[in-house]
Amino acid sequence: DKIKPGNGVETDKLSSDVRNRAMDAVDSCGGRVTIGDVASKAGLKLNEAERALQALAADTGGFLEVSDEGDVLYVFTRDYRPKLAAKSFRMKIEPLLEKSKAAAEYVIRVSFGTALIASIVLVYTTIIALLSSRSDEDNRGRRGRSYDSGFTFFFRPSDLFWYWDPYYYRRQRIRSDGMNFIESVFSFVFGDGDPNQGIEEERWKSIGQYIASNGGVVAAEELAPYLDVLPSEETDDESYILPVLLRFDGHPEVDDEGNILYRFPSLQRTASSQRSGRKEFVGKRWAEWVGVDKFFKEKKWSFSKTRNSERAMVIGLGAFNLFGVVVLSSMLK
């Protein structure tokens, strides 16, 4: 059956995050998915995944199919993204809004560094101008002593291209080599950003994929490495798994040996397994085949990746500016 679209754009009623994650999950599954596929791959709640699929199908002419097992499959054509973009004005302006937001954040971020460098230039230009008003002999003597002081300030014009870079933080996440002087100022003052941004989204994706890879049945201790449960803590209390049950609509069961297991019916069957009929990839053998991560690891957060020498240079720049302000103040009195 084909879903008939309404008068409005249904996907505009979804949050951008839910919509984009659902669309990425649909793409990764080849355009043929169940609600469980989207929930596990995108880390969404089941009701969020269902609403997203219904909205996408309504706006792009998606199809519903019923498998032999009685599961509902959502089928999308390859050009469903262009169809949705042509229909949704919100999706057209979102990239522009994101760029404007990034530009505004960038201007705020670089304002301190810009003011610092401008202050140094202004202060020492004023000092030089005041010294130039004195006799040429004194001026040459002072310049000679300043050149003999052993301090050398080297600034490459090419650094300005790094300085005026709106994608500074994005580059810092992928660069492993050193940074130039201007970058070290940014890093020292503003930091290099949190490497764990979006960590909750990744956490739920990992949990959903692990449950699906194990046939939709897991024990609590299997999910403990994905949750905030330390290995040294007592795990007899399995209440930490309650958020997982609520998100993926799971329920506890007791097996023949008296062990408590947690079953997630919506994650037990995928559209890909129904299409190919390869049921051997459901369960633990499928988990071994795809190599699902067995634990969830956060990245270590270091505020700044600058080396000690770079930090010393930045601190020296601030001290150099402060010294110039003090000297200029005394000269103007």
Task: Give pLDDT tens digits for 188-212.
Answer: 777 777 777 778 888 898 899 899 8
CA distance 74 to 4: 14
In this structure, are residues 40 and 267 in contact, taking their beta carbons and an 8 Å threshold? yes
284-314 pLDDT tens trace: 444 443 455 666 677 777 777 777 877 787 7
CATH match of 10-90 with 3.90.1200.10: no
Domains of the chain by residue range: 10-90, 96-195+303-332, 217-290
pTM recorded for the entire structure: 0.64
C-alpha distance from residue 195 to each of 163, 207, 283, 293, 301 (Å): 21, 20, 33, 19, 6
First to last CA, the chain: 86
CA–CA dist 295, 293 (Å, integer): 6
Do residues 289 and 92 touch, judged by C-beta distance below 8 A?
A: no
Segment 238-256, tens digit of pLDDT = 888 999 999 999 999 998 8
